[in-house]
Structures are given as C-alpha cells and as structure tokens.
Structure 1
Amino acid sequence: MLEPFDGDGLRPGMSRPRARLRVGGQAVIRHQLDLALAAGAQRILLLADAGEEGVDGVLRAAREQGVDARRISDSPGLCAMVSTADEILLLTDGLLSDPATALPMLDKGSMVATLPIEPGLSLGFERLDAERAWAGLLLMPGSLCERLRQLPRDCDVASSLLRIALMAGVATKPVDEACLDDHRWAIVANNRIAHGVEAAQLSRSLEETRGRTPGPRLAAMAVRRFSASFLETDRSPVLLWYAALAVLLVAGGVTAFVSVWSGLLLFAFAWLAGRGALVLEEAVRQGRIGMTARSRMWRGAASLFDVMLVVALGFALTDGDWARLGGWYLAFVLVATVAIGEFQAEPERVRVWLADRFMLCVALALFAYTGMLAPFAMVLSALVLGAWAVVARGGGNGRRG
C-alpha cells in the first residue's frame, strides 16, 4: 500500500497553501493527486487545517477514484493512519512533478528524490546537505513513521519524515536537472512561477503543433496572445472546441444561403479555432496523466469540417439545386482530393500545404468573391490529382526498374 501525503506542514503565516495554486487550469494539489493515484495509492492523507478551502473537493475527488481519503492535522494523526506494512509517498506542498520522470523513480522502491544544491535552493527546494537539495518527493517504509512519535506534536511533518528516511538509509535518486530548466519539475510557490510553468508548457505545445504554413502559425499566434485567459480554466480546450463548432455551423449556413465568400471566410476562422483548441489541449496535456498525446476530437473535428465544407460548396455551386449533380460532384472531388492528398501526396511539403484548411478556405473565398469559384475548384483538383499521378507513376517505374 502507498500512503500519499500531500503537504510540507502549514508554516506560520502561510494562509494559502501553495498546492492550491493553479497550473494549466488545475490546482497543483490535483496534479499531485493524479500522480499518487497513478503510483497505486490506496489511501490519501492530506495535511491541512479543519475547514481549509479546497480540502473537501480534493478528498471527494480521491474517493470518487475508489480510494480512502482523509484529512490529518499533525504527526500523531499521520502515525495513527500508517501501519508497519505500509509505504508512505510524500509530496511536498506546491510540488509539480513530471509524471514521466516521477513514476519510474517510484517503481523501484523506497527512495528520496534529489536535485543539485544550487539550482534546487534557488527554485525553493529544501537543502539536504552541501551538495544536494530535496526534490520534494520521497517513498519510504511505513515502519519508519513511528519515529515521528519521538518528536514534538507540531513538528514540520515533511521535513521530519525526510530526515528520518535519510538517517534510516533510504536511497537517494537524482532528478534530471533538465526537468528544472524546462519547468517540468517545480515548487509552485506563487502565481509568477505558475505562469512560468504554463508558459513553458505552451511553448512545448507550440513547438509540437506550430506547423509551417500560415494557418497553424496564425492559430499558434492567437493562442500565445490569449494564453493567460485560456489557461485560467481547466476546460478551456473544450470550450474552444465548442466555439469552433459553433462558427463552423454558422459558416455552413452563411455559405449555403447568404454569401458564399463570407461563409468561406467563416470556415477559415472555424478551422483556426479548432487548431487553437488542439494547441491548448497539447499544453494542458503537459504533465497530465492519462491524456493522450493527440486529441481524437481533432480527427473527428477535421472530418466534420470537410463534410460541412462539401455540403456548403455544393449549395454554393448549384444554388441548392440537387438535380445539378455536376456542382455537387465538383465539391466532393475538391475536398476529397485535398483530404486524401493531405496524407498521401508527395513530397512532404505538399502534404503540409494540403492540410492547411485555413489557406484553402481563404483561397476559395477570394475566388468566390470574384465569381471564379467553380473554375478554381476544377483547376485545384486537377493540379493535385495530376501531381499525385506523376509522383505515383515515377515511384512505380522506379520499383519496376
């Protein structure tokens, strides 16, 4: 059994525990809870005063995951809950750790995580000795907890357990210093640090999703500009997905029944909103346990976008006359050619441009405004198919030779 214990004691004057600060729309203590549960915790012990804001919510979230969760207020309370057969997983107040780094360390048994002394102290971690600082994470046998009974009732529980573990010979394990440099391991002591962690997460997300064409770059610029507002809520990616869907539905209606070029511009903005939601989701995913690397919602949204674009273009090219099959066929061929080419066309830079629906919709809007939508759709489809055929034939000849 693991006994997670969140907190490093409530020090005098600490009216707001650091664990309640928010990173990526979620309180640090909820990140800690996720880590403890992923490590196999069967009981959560939270050091906090009675009536402390947010405590009940964390305990309730833990119980919803099927584990026992309780509040304790001092070292005797901890000793009463821990048996000699248990293990104690201790997370210091405000610790935000990278699960990809922390979980493998915990898999190997009792340990005290450490950092180099200079960067560790400068970032708010506790000193161990002349060369090392405590990284805020340890796993120790529950039998050692009994030694707390020899200390004053109001002792700093986390620091005391740390010293007990070291004196008992629990092994130390270093945390990769690179985790400090890119804010994947931090003591979130104030909002400035929280915003710094969010900025680092967003930068990694933008690096992964920025793209090389105007559409993804514009989406990345917009997310970076409004990132502080977006990341205030845990559900910001979902809200942006809904906003993209709303704009998409409006775009379809405007294209089909009001103004073709205006509607196609709305399609472009709907795609930007969806791409921005993907960037945000990648940022929120940093350090989260159980979130996939790439959203399934993006794949579903991309398919819905293409279907809506086919329908809207079909209405625009035929004035809504279902008997004019040529226009519907052209709309389908254009979007299908671009969609398939996004994954199959060669070389790779061509696929990148075909994947940029923002540029496609802007170009369609421009030619619709000049009354040349149908000729442009024909030429674009023919160019993509022709280039594809040339590349395919060249590859086939190469294989036969």
Structure 2
Amino acid sequence: MAGQSLPRAFLRVGGATLAQHQLGLALALDCQRVICLAKGPSPEMIALQHMAENAGLQFHIATGARPLAGLVTANDELVVIGEGLFVEAAGVVPLLEGRAPAVLVQPVEGGLAAGFERIDINRASAGLMRIPGHLVENLQELPGDCDVHSALTRIALQAGVPMREVPVAVRSGVDWRLIRDEAEAHAVELEWLRGRFADGDSVSPGRAVARYGVLTFGSSLLHAGNASNMLSLGVLVAVALAGGLAWFGFVTIAFLSLVAAALLVEASRLLRSVERQALGQLPPAIPRADVLRWLVDTLFGLSLLAAIPRLGGESLISWMFPPAMLMMLLALIPRFVTGKVASLATDRATLGLVLAFAAGFGQVEPLVEVLAMTLVVVGMALPLRRKD
C-alpha cells in the first residue's frame, strides 16, 4: 500500500514520481495489489493505475481509513509505505523478506530530523512496515480523516508486531529519505543521480564526458519525459549525418559526428538505466544502447572505408580488411580483458577523435593498421578476463 497525498506522490526524482518509485518497490516485494490513499481519481493517478495494471497488479484507490479497511481481508498481508518515502528496493527487500510482520524503525535523533514520526523515547518510524491484514479492521474505530500510516503503526505495535531497526548502511546517504516538498525532491534527485553515475575504476574519457553531461542536464531531460528516447533519436540523427558526410568525402567531420553519436549512446544508456531503476524494471535481453552502439560501429567502419582510398587493381577484400579487422578487434577485446584496456577499447568517442585527427592529415590507413596490431598484442599479452 502506498499512502501518500497527491502533492507528495507526484514529486519527481530521477524522472519518475514518488508514486512510481513506490510502485517499483511494491513489485520488488512481490505485492499482488496496490492501494493508494488519495482524495480521488486524477489524471496522474489514472496513469499510475495503468502502470500498475500493466505490471500485473490490481489497483485500488481508498479515500480514507474506513474505505481502506473495506478493501483488506484478515488473510491479507500489508506492506505499508509512508507518505513521501523514497527508498531503494535493494535495501528494503532483505529487511522484509520471509513475510514475517515487522515495523521498521531507526534511532530517534536522526529520524526526527529527517521528518519521520517518533515511536518512543529511543526510536522513530522508518516509514515502512509489513503487518497482518486483520489489524486494519481497527481503523473502523477511528475517525475517517485520521493519519492512516500513523494509526496503523500504533495498532501494529500495540498488537505486538516486532520492531526491526534499519541498518545504518541502508538508511545512510540518499537511499532512504522522506521527501516533503519540491526543494527536497530536487536535492535528493541530484544526490541520487551522482550516486547512480559515480565514476568507476575504469572510466574512459568518452564515458567521463557523457556522465558529466548527464549529471549536468540529466535532471531536466528526465523531467521533460522520454529522456532516453530523445537521446536515442539524437544518435540516429548524428549517425545519418555522419553517413552523408562520409559519402561526400568529408570524413573528418563524419568522425566528429560519430563522436557526438557515441557520447549520446552512452548518455542514453545511463538515463535509460535510471528510468528502469525508478520504475523497478529489469533490463531487456538486448538493451537499446547496445543496438545503437552496433549502429555507430557500422558507421565507423563505413567512414573508415571512405577515408581509405582503394588503389587501382586492389581487391575488395584487401581494401576492406584493415577497417573490418579494427572494428572486429574493438568488439572482441572487451570480451577477453577488463579494466582500462577494455574501457578504452569500447570508448568510441575517443576513437572518433583520434580518427578525425588522422583524417585531417590523410593518415587514417596507417593509424588503423597500428591500432589493429596494438589490439592483437593486447589480446595476446593479457589472459582471459584478467584485470589490469
């Protein structure tokens, strides 16, 4: 059950509303139904209902404590999610696994400062609990306009439902927050995006630029909606432009267009991962970013052919061999090694800049041959999946 009023429910973090984040949490906890406390239907609530039903969940709206009690049977189990709560499903699932009833709590000092309700002298609510359905019947005895989450917390504790403290590692940082207004949502979003896109040990220059761009403009793109779709369209435009430029012999600019396409592919991959995580969706078998990367690689190969003149009497296979070999090695090497070598081998933005520089001096073919030989040596020197 996601108990939130309309304003908080539809504050956005990472391009998804808090209601959508909580829906993803409900899916992660294997819930079968979602009951939203709201004043009534609205366009946003109807959109949320469609998302829930598309995910295979039943969806209900309860306008107060008594309508909620009428929707729950004694045999049900309720996962109660507090108003405005923003949490990572990965941290919640282990705490509520096994279907044992529990009221999640935290130390009162930090909890009160973060906006959570006090439970006793030492503890505050953590905004989440799993309780037996028969306890909801007690809401019938309370006023219809009572605070349902607070009332259920008291009812559960009086009935002997055990408290379980949320570990410090789980509730630290941005992964367990109570969001109360637009300013808090914006602050949490920026911190959350930085956490999702923190630099790894093997970040190449191109990926670093893409991540910087996403951290700078990603929030605006996500709020505009269809962020990854917009960037994917940008990839297609950049690839088409590169193909046209290469066809007419402007290979230097064509490689620069492919640099832009490669950066957009990486940015779309990052933003799509955020969109999926916000909605609790699993990645597809073949991510869209992989397909776009293959398309960019194809245009790299064609642009290389446009940059390497075919000599008189030279066979087709001989002319195609250096570009084809380089692109296949670039795809193959990351399967054998990890770390900086693999990261650089998959960094098409850096490759495009190097090729554009070489094209400006008419030295694409020698560079292609040197790069291909270097990759062969790397594959021979570094064992299978060994880190640098």
CA distance in 1, matches of 2:325, 2:364: 14
CA distance in 1, matches of 2:172, 2:21: 20
Give runs of aligned pairs for residues 14-29 of structure 1, distance below 5 A: 16-29=6-19
SS in 2 for 1:226: helix
SS in 2 for 1:232: helix
Give runs of aligned pairs for residues 16-95 of structure 1, distance below 5 A: 16-52=6-42, 54-95=44-85
Shift, 1:375, TM fit: 2.1
Summarize deviations over 1:173-222 as a string: whole Å, max 9, x none: 11222333321111121122222222223222322568443211111221
CA distance in 2, matches of 1:361, 1:254: 14
Contact 2:36 2:61 in 1 (8 A): yes
Give runs of aligned pairs for residues 136-285 of structure 1, distance below 5 A: 136-207=127-198, 211-285=202-276
- Percent identical pairs in the alignment equals 29
CA distance in 1, matches of 2:169, 2:221: 27
Contact 2:231 2:264 in 1 (8 A): yes
Letter in 1 for 2:320: W
Letter in 2 for 1:335: M
Contact 1:338 1:355 in 2 (8 A): yes
Number of matched pairs: 382
Shift, 1:315, TM fit: 2.7
Equivalent residue number for residue 13 of structure 1:
none
CA distance in 2, matches of 1:257, 1:320: 19
Shift, 1:325, TM fit: 4.0
TM-score, with length taken from structure 2? 0.89
Summarize deviations over 1:152-184 as a string: whole Å, max 9, x none: 222222211110001001011112223333211
Letter in 1 for 2:325: V
Equivalent residue number for residue 371 of structure 1:
362
Distance change in 2, residues 1:53/1:163 (3 Å)? farther
Contact 1:19 1:95 in 2 (8 A): no
Aligned pair partner of 1:332 in 320, 324, 329: 324
Letter in 2 for 1:95: L
Contact 1:261 1:366 in 2 (8 A): yes
Out of 156-165 and 291-300, give the one that drifted further.
291-300
Equivalent residue number for residue 3 of structure 2:
7
Contact 2:24 2:281 in 1 (8 A): no
Contact 1:183 1:200 in 2 (8 A): yes
Give runs of aligned pairs for residues 361-400 of structure 1, distance below 5 A: 361-386=352-377, 388-389=379-380, 391=381
CA distance in 1, matches of 2:16, 2:219: 13
CA distance in 1, matches of 2:285, 2:113: 35
Letter in 2 for 1:230: L
